[in-house]
Structure 1
């Protein structure tokens, strides 16, 4: 993620508000979370407030520091306090959707308006709904918290929409097994695998057809149109994120500029022009995605450099090493060390 994007105050405060509420429940002073960050607790109660990725990360780091030494994951505990209504208007749109599958599709499409820090993708599969989460910026200290919170909220939302019997088929996590790992299996009621390549929330495909009891077609249309109007106010930001999302689907075989343009239903020339208007280029976006993905994978010591290179679209480790040094100023082995 380019530095300018990390400093742009366009992130809704839903997640940070829930974090402040949890700190209160734990008997701590939530005002400490915001000191010197350019916003306060009153701002977190204002639905119009926006913060930057940088500000959000700093606040979460403070919360993790304040709660250090606990024998439970702060992200899992936080998700237990959140419900579908914590997602704001997007949550209401999901509540009024026809089926769980359509609600998931809507939630992914509108994810930026929920205040999510991670990026969510539904991987196509005939037998499973596979929700993949990735971190678009390099903050390894926050990854466990963010994934715990995201997967815990997924579970809460799915059980709200499909009923309390909903359970995923499996959970895959890219980080090592924590000391409180048994809490994961108790919560998700399915096999949980740590140290995997990606962060995946997997459930059987039949859940997609589950009707939602609170479905209301008119209300759903009204709130979706309202959300789209809001999204259009940041149309160019959303456009760049669309390019980012298309490329991120499979970095092993990066799409050409013309292929990305085709998926966006525009010419290659138009795509170049619109990216340039945002002080961005196809290669900058691709290189940044590759860098962030490589940094994430290098944290998994079970993967060789050749495997990491392949995952980010390089045919051999030598070319990957050269590119990585160009991106970061040092080699991948130094980073891993």
Structure 2
């Protein structure tokens, strides 16, 4: 039976007594719901420092930990950092046989688009002797790990709220953004989005108003954030980026991007790539 998780009092406390608890770092959250199931969530663009900290926490899954299944939730990774990925590979490569002693199987929940391709390619860099599989849906991932659906839903909801709290974002907006990111290329119908979030169209609109925002405003935010990840991590032409985020024309895309960031897509790409 999975149970609610409580915050640990620092890393040492978590490493000594992780069961039923979680530890939060910058851009990640590691949790241990029960002796036989644990995992971690990462978000944003975790770099070298953040991943180095995460590798310290991952030691909690090594012996004398009990055999367990593991969920790696990377849905919220916006643009993988090459240095961060390198740190994780260097940590895992010499320890993979040690992890094989305790990890029975591991499911990876990947983000959409280019970020998903990069994250999903991790297993080609580090080959494990325990079963691994990538999913788009965390509930499917938990099912593959052998967790009953009611328990999995409860745990995933709790973890989602914890992550949203760390990101300074309400669970409502976090879930809306997640749904929108998977549908930017589709014809967006508010009623369909609301239904996927488990509520009526009227309820979604009311809750967005109570949060001081609107469906269109949040859609535009997701479009621009997704575009920024594409501009930074690919050489795609602006017309292709515009189509990828659901803008009908390059002019519409450029206008929207400038409205939310204060600069054109090409200027933003040049400045951030130069900075990198």
Q: TM-score range by the shorter chain?
A: 0.5 to 0.7
- Structure 1 CA distance, aligned partners of 2:198 and 2:86? 36
Distance 1:17 1:290, change over 3 A: farther
Q: Please identify runs of 4+ aligned residues in structure 1 that moved more than 6 A.
A: 47-53, 149-153, 155-158, 207-212, 229-236
Q: Is the 8 A contact 1:306 1:316 kept in 2?
A: yes
Q: Superposition pairs for residues 57-96 of structure 1, below 5 Å?
A: 64=49, 75=51, 80-83=55-58, 85=60, 95=68
Distance 1:162 1:148, change over 3 A: farther
* Structure with the larger strand share: 2
Residue in 1 aligned with 2:126? 188
Q: Is the 8 A contact 1:167 1:188 kept in 2?
A: no
Task: Kindly indicate whether residue 81 of structure 2 is the aligned counterpart of residue 143 of structure 1.
Answer: yes
Distance 1:50 1:299, change over 3 A: closer
Corresponding residue pairs, total? 211
Task: Kindly indicate whether residue 77 of structure 2 is the aligned counterpart of residue 134 of structure 1.
Answer: yes
Q: Is the 8 A contact 1:298 1:308 kept in 2?
A: yes
Task: List gaps (5 residues or longer) in structure 2.
Answer: 1-5, 16-20, 28-42, 136-140, 271-276
Q: Is the 8 A contact 2:25 2:53 kept in 1?
A: no
Residue in 1 aligned with 2:171? 238
Q: Compute the displacement of 1:310 (Å).
A: 0.9
Distance 1:316 1:84, change over 3 A: farther
SS of structure 2 residue aligned to 1:162: strand
Q: Is the 8 A contact 1:162 1:211 kept in 2?
A: no
What do you get for the CA RMSD once the two structures are aligned? 5.4
CA deviations over 1:263-318 (Å, ceiling 9, x no partner): 12322111111112222221121111111111111124521111111111113212
Query: Normalising by the residue count of structure 1, what TM-score does the alignment of the two structures yield?
Result: 0.45
Q: Superposition pairs for residues 220-239 of structure 1, below 5 Å?
A: 237-239=170-172
Task: List gaps (5 residues or longer) in structure 1.
Answer: 1-11, 22-46, 65-73, 109-118, 121-132, 178-183, 191-200
